[in-house]
Every structure is written in C-alpha cells, then in structure tokens.
Structure 1
Amino acid sequence: MPAIDMPIHELQAYSGINPRPVDFDAYWERALNEMRQVDAAIELVPSEFQTPAAECFDLYFTGVRGARIHVKYARPRGAEQPHPAVVQFHGYTANAGDWADKLSLVSLGYSVFAMDCRGQGGYSEDAGSVKGNTHNGHIIRGLDDHPDQLLFRHIFLDCAQLAGIALNSTEVDPAHVYAMGGSQGGALTIACAALEPRVSKLAPVFPFLSDYRRVWEMDLDRDAYAELRTFFRHFDPQHEREEEIFTKLGYIDIQFLANRIEGEVLMGVGLMDTICPPSTQFAAYNKITAAKRLEIYPDFGHEGLPGFNDKVIRFFLGTY
C-alpha cells in the first residue's frame, strides 16, 4: 500500500514531538476561569429558514475578549421533553454551513448548534487585537504576543462555552450532548470535549491543529499549515527562535488537551492525508484515555470517508 507517513504499527504507538509547555495545565485553567466570568448575553433571533419539522434560530453569545459569536441553532419543532443535542464545528476558514445539512439530526430528535468560528467565513466577530503578524493565518495570530493572546485559545474557549450553553438549555438533555466536526472542526471537537468534559460523545474526523513540529519536519507546512512557513520566513528566517515558537504553539496543540476528554470517542482518519498528516492525528488519538474507536481508511486522504457519517449517526444513537 502507498504511504505518506509511518507504518500503521508505528502510528499506533506514536506520541508526538511538538514540545508541551511546562505550564500547559495552568494556562488552560486560567483560560477557563476567564471564560466562566463572561456574561454570555445569549440572543435568539428566529431565522427566515423554517421547516415543518425544525425551528431555526440565529443564536448569538459573547465569548472571551468581548467577541459576539454566531451559531446556527435548529431544534425539533414541538419537542416537549428534553432531548439530545449536537454541537458542530466547521473546517478552517469556512462557516456553519447551510441549514439543510442540520435537518437529518433534527429529524432524529436532536437539537443542533453549529458555530461560526470567530474571524473566519461566518458571522462571528474577531474582536481582539494582538502584537505582531495577523496576515494569512489564525494559527500564528498572537504568536508574537503573550500566550493568552493566541487566537485559537479564544476559539477553543468559544467551543467549550457553546457546549455549556447547550448543556444548560432547558430543552436539552444534559446527559446526551455530543460534538462533531472534520479537519479544523475535528480539532475543535476534541478541544470542546476536553475543556467541557460533560460532552458525552464526540466524533472528530481527521483533526487539524495537532503536533505542529511533526508537520514541519514532514515538509507539509503548506495548504492548511502554510502560515507556519510564512511566519518563519518573515519573523525568524534563520530559525533562531524555533524551540520558543513550537513551544508556544504547544498551548494550542490539541494532542495535549486530549487526555482531558471523558466522553466516548469515534474518530475517522485517512492514511493518505497530506493536509493533516496521519501521525499528527494519532498523536492526539493515542493520548485519549476515555473509551474510543478509530475508523481507518487506508486509501483516503483529507476527503469524505465513505460510510463514516452513517457510523457517526449510529454512534450517537447507540447502535454502533
């Protein structure tokens, strides 16, 4: 079989090479404390899009640093009892997507909360200002500022805050709040469930934002990770700060959050993925200590994985 990464037996034992900051846990406890102090000021605005089966809203809440975050929220029309909910996260630079792709879950009795990441392709704000480069990438935004200014810190907190909003909604059964997403959405699914461990099931697909130094050493700092090369070329052309830079990126490396997950995990990976290399995904998956299952697609890359979405539905329903 062709390969772009390690053999499968090495992937199954791989633990990542990006440095982990020594104060990583304190960093995230400080971040969560900041999030808990925020007045979310939740606002629900009925959407023009409605169906006989789904009641649809634009939901807004205030995240850390004052940004207003937009969410597409669809719930079963007329549901009288608390029911399960799914929080959804989109790919890098994209948005929450069409209402239509939420309706299959709504038809099964789930509420769906699909978040626009701040500063990307939807309606959420990027309200923060940082020192240093802000061009061509969110991974490097804040990298020359204090670590508390990293943009993905704020986005990870938005995800956890949204899960908390779902968990505290009177119409939602808090024992059945799930998370899902692919690529950046897969990374945010892992971060969400790590920072809000009451998420009881999660289904990440080929997660992004993991093991940055491995991406660099594989010479795959292009496509979704191209901003790493941009940053070095402009701000550290001789790599004199390489250890410092990768260590700071460690604060927003999902592999180091993965062991906080308590929910059950179903993850999909394609072994021909050149966008988010398989080893970087295994670095995160191998650190998950909760119940987990990995669906491996040997001949697929960063693309649709046939049958995986059906497995996710069955996983959420408890039949897989």
Structure 2
Amino acid sequence: MPVIDMPLEELRNYQGVNPRPKDFAQYWERAIGEMKSVNPNVELTPSAFQVPYAECFDMYFTGVRGARIHVKYLRPKNASGKHPAVLIFHGYSSNAGDWSDKLNYAALGYSVFAMDCRGQGGHSEDVGGVKGNTLDGHIIRGLDDEADNLLFRHIFLDTAELADIAINMPDVDPGRVYAMGGSQGGALTLACASLEPRISKLAPTYPFLSDYKRVWDMDLAKDAYAEIRQYFRMFDPAHQREEEIFTKLGYIDIQNLAGRIKGEVLFITGLMDTICPPSTQYAAYNKITAKKEHIIYPDYGHEFLPEISDKVMQFFMK
C-alpha cells in the first residue's frame, strides 16, 4: 500500500504534536459559559422549498457575540411521538447545501438541522471585530487578538448551541440526536459532540482543524491549511513566534477537545489524504475514549468515499 504519512501501525498510536495550552480546559469552560448566557432567540420561517412529507424552515438563532446563525431545518410531518434528529455540518467555505439532499433523513422520520458557518458560503452572519488580518482564513482569524476572539471558537460554540436547540425541540427525542459532516464538517461534528455531550452518535469524515503543527511539519500547509503559511510569511517570517502561534491554535485544535466526547463515534479516514493528513486525524481519534469505530479507505484521499453515506445512515439507524 502506498504511504503518504506514517505507517498504519504508527498512526494507531500517534498522539499529535501541536502544543496544548495549559489553560485549555478553563478556556472552554469559560466559552461554554458565554454561550449559555446568550438568548438564542430562535426564529422559524417556512422555506419556499416544501415537500409532502416534511416541513422545511429557515431557522435563525443568535450565537455568541450577537451573530445570527442560519440553519436549514426539516422536520417530518405526521411523526408519531418523539423522533431522532441529525445535525449536518459542511466543508470549509461552503454552505448547508440544497434542501433536497437532506430529504433521505426526513423521509426516515428524522428532523434535520444543517448549519451555515458564520462568514462562509451561506447566510450566517460574521460580526467581525478582531485585531489583525481579516483578508481571508478563518483558522487565523483572531490570532493577533485575545484567544477568546478566535473565530473558530465561536463557530465551535455555534454547533453546540444548535445541538442544545435541537435537543430541546418538543418533537425530538433528546437521547437520539446525532451529528455528521466531512472535512470542516467532520471537525465541527467532533467539536459539537465535545462541547455538547448529549450528542449520542457522531460520524466525522476526514476531519479538518487538527494537529496544526503536524500539518506544518509535513509541508502540507497548503490548500485548506494555506492560511497558516500565509500568516507566517506575512506576520512572522523568521518564525520568532512559532511556539506561541501553534500554542494559540491549540485552543481550536479538535484533538484537544476529543477526550470530552461521550457519544458513540464512527470515524472515517482516507489514508491517501494530503488535505487533512491521516496522522492529524488519528491524533483526534486516538484521544476519543468513548465507544468508537474507525473505517479506513487505504486508496482514497480527501474525496468522495463510496458507500460511506450508506454506512453512516445504517450507523444512525441501528
């Protein structure tokens, strides 16, 4: 088998190299406290897209720092009793996608919540307000400011706030709320279940936002991670602040959150992934202490993975 990263035996024991801030736990407890102090002020507007067996709504709620977050919300019509729900998170710079690609879960009797990440390709609001570079790059947004102002901190909290909203819907079974997504969506799936332990099942596919220093060491700070290289070239060309920068990124490194997960995990990795290297994914997977299973695609990279949508659906249904 070709190898673009560590041998599989090493991957299974790899624990990551990016620094973990000493006050990491306190940082996230403070962040969760801020999230819980926000009145979400949920608003539902019927969408122009409708089908006979589900109601479709544009949902908006207020996240931390006052941003209004948009969600495509589908709920089954005529459901008997409380039913499951699935949260869907999208890839970097994209959006929640079409209504029609969520109808499979609505047809099964699930509510579906597909969130637009703030400031990306959908309708969620980016309220800005940080010092430093804002040309592009959500990983580095707020890196020259206080750590509490990192943009992905806020996006991670949006996922947890959405989970709380879904769990408390009167027609949703709070014990059957699931999360899924690929790439950035895989990272947000892990972050959501880390910050909201009531997520009972989660299916992250080749997650992004993990073990930033490993990405750098592999010379793969390009494509989705290109902004890290851009940041060093523009703001720290001699790497005098390298340890400080990677330590601050450690606050929004999903491998450091993974140990908080309580739900059952179905984790998917392609071993030829040069966008989100396998070792960075294993850094997160190996820290999960909850029940877990790892599906590996030896010949696939950061791309469509055959049969994976079926496997995820079966995982949620069983």
TM-score w.r.t. the length of structure 1 is: 0.99
Q: Structure 1: which 4+ aligned runs deviate by more than 3 Å?
A: none
Percentage identity across paired residues of the two chains: 72
Cα deviation 1:5-41 (Å, max 9, x = unaligned): 0000000000000000000000000000000000100
Residue 56 (1) aligns with residue 56 (2)? yes
Q: Does residue 1:39 correspond to 2:71, yes or no?
A: no
Partner Cα separation in structure 2 for residue 242 and residue 44 of structure 1: 45
- 2:201 matched to 1:201? yes
User: In 1, Cα distance between the equivalents of 2:98 and 2:178?
Assistant: 20
Question: Residue 34 of structure 2 aligns to which amino acid in structure 1?
Answer: E
Q: Distance in 1 between matches of 2:234 and 2:40?
A: 37
Alpha-carbon distance in 1 for matches of 2:311, 2:243: 40
Aligned residue identity for 2:215: V
Shift of 1:135: 1.5
Aligned position for 1:186: 186
Residue 65 of structure 1 contacts residue 128 of structure 1 at CA under 8 Å; is this kept in 2?
no
The residue type paired with residue 107 of structure 1 is: A
Q: TM-score, normalised by structure 2?
A: 0.99
Equivalence for 1:255: 255
Quote how far apart the aligned CAs of 1:134 are: 1.0
Query: 2:152 & 2:205 partners in 1: Cα distance?
Result: 19
The residue that corresponds to 2:225 in the other structure is 225
Instruction: Give 1:308 deviation, angstroms.
Output: 1.2
- Give ranges in structure 2 of 5+ residues lacking alignment: none
Q: Which moved more, 1:139-148 or 1:80-89?
A: 80-89
> Could you report, residue by residue, the CA deviation over 1:145-189 in whole angstroms, capped at 9, with x for unpaired residues?
000000000000000000000000001000000000000000000
* Pairwise CA distance, 1:191: 0.1
What is the total number of aligned residue pairs between the two structures? 318
1:311 aligns with 2:294: no
- Alpha-carbon offset, residue 2 of structure 1: 1.1
C-alpha contact (below 8 Å) 1:130/1:149 kept by paired residues: yes
CA offset digits 1:83-128 (Å, max 9, x no partner): 0000010000000000011000111110000000000000000013
Deviation, 1:80, is 3.6
* Secondary structure, aligned partner of 2:293: strand
Equivalent residue, structure 1, for 2:91:
91
The farther-off stretch of 78-87 and 220-229 is 78-87
- DSSP 3-state at the match of 1:257: helix
Tell me how large the CA RMSD over aligned residues is: 0.5
Where structure 1 has 5 or more consecutive residues not aligned to the other structure, the ranges are none
Partner of 2:25: 25
**Amino acid of the structure 1 residue aligned with 2:66:** G
